[in-house]
Amino acid sequence: MRLVVAANISRVKRKSFAGQAVLVLLGLLLMFLASFMAVDVPAGTGHNLLNAGRHSIVTVIEKLPPLWQDKINHLAPTLLQETKPIRHVLYVPQVPVAVFLGYVLGAQTAAISIGLFLLLGLIGPSMGINPLAGGGGFDYYSQPGFGYLLGMIACAYIVGLVTEDRRSSISQVLALVAGVVTVHIIGLVYMISSCLMFSLIEGVKNGPLWLPWVFEEARNLTWFQIAYDSILGFVLIGIGFPFRYLVNMLTAPDLALKSRSDKIVQQHMEELLN
């Protein structure tokens, strides 16, 4: 009589504490590097990006031979006209890095890593460490961008939660959208609620004074940034897939060995039963 051996042998995925600690430190390092990678980019609004693209095309055309320029000018006479002024902003890619960490490290590890980065930003200046570009310190909670830092913790956790055990493109896009939107909602809510609280403390009559400031900060931190957060986040998710596999091997080193041993045991049992 021939017995059939089940192929699906249950396995317990054991987490490596040392591996997780290394990943937390690597995530902390990535957030530290991202906070100092300020890049001068065109503000992420539709008309401004179109003007920036047109300006880049004109710059390339101006380097072509005069004969080619004449032909292009004949085909598209309005293309070489002077473009409108382009508004530039400083972009810091912390949100895409938070998305990357959530996708690669998983929900809990990524959230812990970014949480430690924020904690280091609060207590670090007292020890001579400044991981935040704005300086940091215990009073950094009053800065307009502090809520966005809190949102990055939630962003990493949500991205890791949505993509946990899921590799489909739909789950990746949903995780990206949910993570980026979460950052900016928490950032805006924190900024507005902080202004309301200080207004109540200092007097309601001072309330209208901060309204233009809130609008300007919301425009600079959300409206001008969210397009770049989405695009770079999508790119980093695509890049992060092989790193995600390496992370799984680092945090569960027995998983691959267990899978290989299962196959060997099954092969030996089948040989004995034949």
Of the two residues 7 and 49, the one the predictor is more confident about is 49
Contacts of residues 22-25 at CB distance under 8 Å and 24 or more positions apart, as own/partner, are 22/250, 23/105, 23/109, 23/113, 23/247, 23/250, 23/251, 24/105, 24/109, 24/112, 24/113, 24/116, 25/113
Of 79-93, 161-175, 191-205, least confident by mean pLDDT is 191-205
pLDDT of res. 11? 46
Region 128-135: mean pLDDT is 77
Q: Which residues contact 186 (CB under 8 A, 6 or more apart)?
A: 147, 148, 150, 151, 154
Name the residue with higher pLDDT: 238 or 255: 238
What is residue 173's predicted lDDT score, i.e. its pLDDT?
A: 93
Domains of the chain: 29-41+93-253 (1.10.1760)
pLDDT for res 19: 77
For 217-248, the pLDDT digits (tens) are 888 888 889 999 999 999 999 999 889 888 87
The mean-pLDDT minimum among 117-121, 157-161, 193-197, 259-263 falls in: 259-263
Q: What is the pLDDT of residue 6?
A: 42
Which of 16-30, 64-78, 102-116 has the largest mean confidence?
Answer: 102-116
Is there a contact between 78 and 91 (Cβ–Cβ < 8 Å)?
no
User: Could you tell me what percent of the chain has a pLDDT over 90?
Assistant: 34
Decide if pLDDT at 7 tops 50: no
At residue 266, does pLDDT exceed 80? no
C-alpha span between 45 and 5 (Å, rounded): 61
Tens of pLDDT, residue by residue over 9-65, are: 444 455 667 778 889 999 999 999 998 888 888 887 778 778 888 778 777 877 878
Mean pLDDT, the chain, integer: 80
Exposed, middle or buried: residue 1 (CB in 10 Å: 0-12, 13-18, 19+)? Answer: exposed
Cα dist from 247 to 104, 168, 238, 260, whole Å: 7, 18, 15, 19
Q: What is the pLDDT of residue 260?
A: 47
> How far is residue 249's CA from residue 112's CA, in Å, rounded to a whole number?
20
